[in-house]
Amino acid sequence: MAIQWFPGHMTTARDKAAETLERMDVVIEVLDARCPEASSNPMIRELRLQRQRPCLKLLNKADLADAEATRAWLAFYNRQDGVKAVAISCKKPGDAARVPALCQLLAPHRNEGTKPLRMLIMGIPNVGKSTLMNALLKRRVAKVGDEPAVTKSQLSLDLGKHMTITDTPGLMWPRIAHDSDGMMLAASHAIGRNAVIDEEVAVFLARILLERYPARLAARYGFEPRGLDAPGVVEAVARRRGCIVKGRGGELDRERAALILLQDYRDGTLGRISLETPETRRAMLGAAEDRVQAGK
């Protein structure tokens, strides 16, 4: 299943973000630590490079991600020019409080205090941009919710005497090039449910869990994952959680089981899980290139 999701308001939001970026000193790109590259909008990279703006990449929800994978991603990003990457949880005030000082390091020309340091928060939907904004300002100024595309317009406020911070709506891009990226975004709830089939997303997630985290399945649901395929995992969850279609002779309710599996991943109930690593990313891109070459 190829997933594409680009609500109409995002065209306006993209154009407004490009205009605002001209006046900014640092881009704060909020990523989902469980799938950093899948959740990195290529349009954001293009816009900031056009304007030659440094980038602070925040791998948010790091408390839900595999710590070893996150360390690998931090090393990957911190080798890039003009980029500083850190792992945080925006829900932890101490983590969010580090952000302004990190931005100052990326824009030392603003440290003399004659002009304010201007920071722009960008990222895809539901990665924690508004939560970060609220944490930095220590009050609820931006609407947050466990649904993608809650924020619809920009919000700019002063952060102390010599800093300003601007929050932007979540931005997707018109075409997701790799199917697995769409699946990772859907699993992590960055894409509206109207654009996905939950059972297919859950099967994708189950395949990763079988390959990398089978013990988490056993611990959470109490079944032996050995010998199961990905659809079999969803069925096993249905059996263990009593997901039965009423009036259908005991037929398993796979859709309900899929939602249970997805929600347990999203909430961290399954444990700390990463859907991609730099190594798996390279392998995926290599396989995609091989397919292109074979089709020529």
**What pLDDT was estimated at residue 248?**
80
Q: How confident is the model at residue 143 (pLDDT cuts 50, 70, 90)?
A: low
- The residue-averaged pLDDT of 150-179 equals 83
Looking at residues 79-102, what average pLDDT do you find? 94
Q: Which residues of 63-97 are buried (b: 16+ CB within 10 A; e: fewer)?
A: bbbbeebbebbbebbeeeeebbbbbbbbeeeebbe
Report whether pLDDT(147) > 60: no
Mean pLDDT of the chain: 90
Place 75 in a pLDDT band, splitting at 50, 70 and 90.
Answer: very high
Task: Give the pLDDT mean for 267-284.
Answer: 97
Can you tell me the mean pLDDT for 256-278? 98
Confidence band for 6, pLDDT divided at 50, 70 and 90: low
User: Which of the four pLDDT bands, split at 50, 70 and 90, describes residue 98?
Assistant: very high
pLDDT of residue 140: 78
pTM for the structure as a whole: 0.91
pLDDT over 90 (residue 109): no
Rounded average pLDDT over 194-200: 90
> Taking residues 220-249, what's their average pLDDT?
95
pLDDT of amino acid 149: 44
Residue with structure tokens 């005497």? 161
**Poorest-confidence range of 97-111, 143-157, 198-212, 228-242?**
143-157
Separation CA 160–CA 14 (nearest Å): 27
Q: Domains in the chain, please, with CATH?
A: 9-167 (3.40.50.300), 197-290 (1.10.1580.10)
Give the list of residues 6+ apart from residue 176 with CB closer than 8 angstroms, or none.
2, 3, 4, 182, 185
Taking a C-beta distance cutoff of 8 angstroms, is the pair 167, 121 a contact? yes
pLDDT at 148: 46
Query: What whole-number percentage of the chain has pLDDT above 90?
Result: 68
Going by C-alpha positions, the residue among 188, 185, 165 that lies closest to residue 173 is 185
Check residue 144 and give its pLDDT: 53
